[in-house]
């Protein structure tokens, strides 16, 4: 089990490419802006990175363009399949305790299902911590 000096070392980690958009910001509905994102789950925090393609031309090297766009605390969050939130297939809806909502999408169902499972497990684990 996790000792006091190694918090969350038991939490699952995962990374991959995902399509995402924020849809609610602190309780306020905002316009969708789908973009591809290098998505990392680490220590109960989900980080969506900026799409390097959206960076202005001439912005240093590709590696330095991997910058966070949204960081999402999974403690107290909820996630599930989104119903009627998008015309796209395989869409997840992630709602944070702070009142933000994100849609996450990927055409390959097994990939998005794995993300759903790992986020649900993480949220459950954070409840008992
Ligand atoms: O839920 P909506 O408003 O139909 O979402 C679509 C729009 O955001 C659209 O952009 P405009 O704001 O320029 O209309 C996007 O291009 C679509 O991708 C959005 O719908 P989907 O079904 O792809 O989530």
Higher-confidence residue: 10 or 31? 31
Give the pLDDT score at 54: 72
CA angle 16, 19, 21 (to 5 degrees): 125
Reported confidence tier of residue 2, pLDDT bands at 50, 70, 90:
very low
Report d(CA 46, CA 55) in Å as an integer: 21
Mean pLDDT in residue range 76-101:
97
Contacts of 82 (CB under 8 A, 6+ apart): 91, 92, 93, 103
- Average pLDDT value for residue range 63-69: 75
Q: The whole model's pTM is what?
A: 0.87
Which residues have a Cβ under 8 Å from the Cβ of 6 and sit 6 or more positions away? none
Region 67-88: what's the mean pLDDT?
A: 96
In the three-class reduction of DSSP (H, G, I as helix; E, B as strand; rest coil), residue 53 is classed as: helix
Distance in Å, CA 32 to ligand 1 centroid? 6
Q: How far apart are CA 78 and CA 75, in angstroms?
A: 9
How many angstroms does the Cα of residue 97 sit away from the middle of ligand 1?
25
Cα–Cα distance for residue pair 119/123, rounded to 1 Å: 6
Q: Give which of 72, 65, 61, 58 is closest to 25, Cα–Cα.
A: 72
The predicted pLDDT at position 3 comes to: 46
The two counts, helices (H) then strands (E), for the chain are 1, 8
Among protein residues, the one with the nearest Cα to ligand 1's atom 9 is: 32
| Confidence (pLDDT) at 60 | 59
pLDDT at 15: 96
Binned at pLDDT 50, 70 and 90, residue 66 comes out as confident
Closest atom of ligand 1 to CA, residue 105:
24
């Amino acid at each position: 089990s996790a000792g006091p000096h190694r918090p969350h070392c038991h939490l699952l980690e995962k990374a991959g490419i995902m399509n995402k958009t924020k849809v609610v910001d602190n309780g306020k509905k905002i316009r969708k802006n789908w973009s591809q994102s290098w998505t990392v789950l680490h220590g109960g925090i989900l980080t969506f990175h900026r799409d390097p393609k959206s960076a202005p031309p001439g912005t240093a090297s590709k590696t330095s363009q991997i910058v966070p766009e949204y960081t999402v605390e999974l403690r107290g969050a909820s996630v599930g399949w989104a119903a009627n939130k998008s015309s796209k297939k395989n869409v997840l809806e992630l709602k944070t305790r702070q009142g933000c909502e994100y849609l996450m999408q990927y055409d390959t169902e097994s990939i998005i299902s794995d993300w759903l499972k790992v986020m649900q497990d993480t949220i459950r684990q954070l409840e008992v911590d």
